[in-house]
A and B are shown apart, each in its own frame.
Chain A
């Protein structure tokens, strides 16, 4: 069995859209299960009252990272055929910072706003319209930022390549970091929260 299945031609483009829909259902399901259909749960992360966002995100990253690494070691998945988004360091960092500002002001990110809409949150719907407006503005103003957009092109670059370390060692280090982060998160929740709207005021 060779994976990724799609890259080995086990099914065509039309079937891939069905796969996309099914994978999307799983994605949306677990986002909602985690509580990410509500802006207050998401925003709480940035007031240290409830670190669910951090815990869910890093558990997911570690699960997928370890999974795909072991499957590649076992020869099931050809890791070189899994698409890694190329690095444009400065625009990505600036974009991430801007996105973080939008996250805490609006209370959602694009994926979670979909779940908010499908569970009836009107603010999620307005937020989604905002995203569309933002993309429209970006597209119309693209000429102004195009040079910056393509700057600091480092190509497809992974942390193991950057540090010249074995892939497995970096995986192991990220797992340790995540475990440390989870312990810190549990400690922070004990110390800071829940409070405010996340708990009735004392």
Chain B
């Protein structure tokens, strides 16, 4: 959604303006979804949405119906089972990356560390020549392809109106650190454990999945300012 700078009031700095556009765009998405999927939520600010849609010929398209996107995702996972005999993953690729980095800076230290040494291997193969690393590179590409086709690729920060950009970035970094530790302790993340292990009926994966929702719901109230 390209709103020209002339239409924005002077008091908005660039960042705020971008977020404002971002929020308007998001609201358009949500509103469109709401209208097509459940007619009982009438958008209050429909005029804003209409105006926003009019100002751009390349408005971001609404997201897919969740069940349709879920079937697509499930078929990709099924393809991984049938072709490779394994499921999807994400956090494992980041472990390979971190281990590679540690190994480059301090090779002896990395070799003597029982966690990183597992990802570095015996030196016969580069640690980044790994199935999950290539899969995650594909995730970046696939996300970009989908976003570009739907005009959803835009520089911006995802946050609610009541938190500063710096505050949101602090939460994002802290959340990432906690996620990284949790994923390593659990031997996988939402992709490797919840999706893959869930579909294969693994006991640990189902326990993991329930714990993820429990942890997130238990914490949600305390960080609501970030979004609401």
Of residues 77 through 123 on chain A, the ones whose CB sits less than 8 Å from some CB of chain B are: 77, 81-89, 91-123
Q: How far is the CA of A197 from the CA of B136 in the complex (A)?
A: 30
- A130's contact among B91, B102, B133, B172, by CB below 8 Å, is which? B172
> Which of the listed residues B88, B180, B189, B210 has the most CB atoms from chain A within 10 Å of its own CB?
B180
**Shortest CB–CB separation between residue B97 and chain A, in angstroms?**
7
Pairwise interchain contact A136-B98, C-beta atoms closer than 8 A:
yes
In the complex, the chain A residue whose C-beta lies closest to that of B189 is A110
Secondary structure of the B contact surface, majority rule = helix
- Complex interface: chain B residues within 8 A of A119 (CB): 143-144, 147, 152-154
**Shortest CB–CB separation between residue B166 and chain A, in angstroms?**
10
- A120's contact among B83, B140, B156, B198, by CB below 8 Å, is which? B156
Q: How far is the CA of A47 from the CA of B144 in the complex (A)?
A: 28
- A114's contact among B30, B136, B184, B193, by CB below 8 Å, is which? B136
In the complex, the chain B residue whose C-beta lies closest to that of A170 is B201
Q: How far is the CA of A105 from the CA of B195 in the complex (A)?
A: 21
Q: How far is the CA of A95 from the CA of B193 in the complex (A)?
A: 11
Pairwise interchain contact B73-A31, C-beta atoms closer than 8 A:
yes
Q: How far is the CA of A31 from the CA of B78 in the complex (A)?
A: 15
- A56's contact among B73, B187, B198, by CB below 8 Å, is which? B73
- Complex interface: chain A residues within 8 A of B21 (CB): none
- A20's contact among B34, B43, B134, B213, by CB below 8 Å, is which? B134
Pairwise interchain contact A107-B41, C-beta atoms closer than 8 A:
no
Q: A23-B138, A64-B81 are in contact. Are A105 and B72 (CB under 8 A)?
A: no
B85 lies within 8 A of chain A by Cβ = yes
Q: How far is the CA of A162 from the CA of B177 in the complex (A)?
A: 34
B94 lies within 8 A of chain A by Cβ = yes
Q: How far is the CA of A115 from the CA of B141 in the complex (A)?
A: 8
Residues on B close to A: CB < 8 A? 23, 26-27, 29-31, 34, 38, 40-41, 43-45, 48, 63-64, 66-67, 69-88, 90-91, 94-95, 97-99, 101-102, 113-116, 129, 131-147, 150, 152-161, 168-169, 171-220, 223-224, 226-228
User: Which 6 pairs between the two chains have the least Cβ-Cβ distance?
Assistant: A106-B175, A130-B176, A24-B138, A134-B180, A63-B74, A59-B70
Query: 10 A-B contacts, Cβ less than 8 Å apart?
Result: A5-B82, A19-B83, A37-B143, A46-B217, A63-B74, A84-B200, A92-B193, A96-B186, A104-B216, A130-B173
Residues on A close to B: CB < 8 A? 3-7, 16-35, 37-41, 43-47, 50, 52, 55-65, 67-68, 71, 76-77, 81-89, 91-124, 126-140, 142-143, 145-146, 149, 154, 156-160, 162, 167, 170-171, 174, 182, 189-190, 194, 196-202
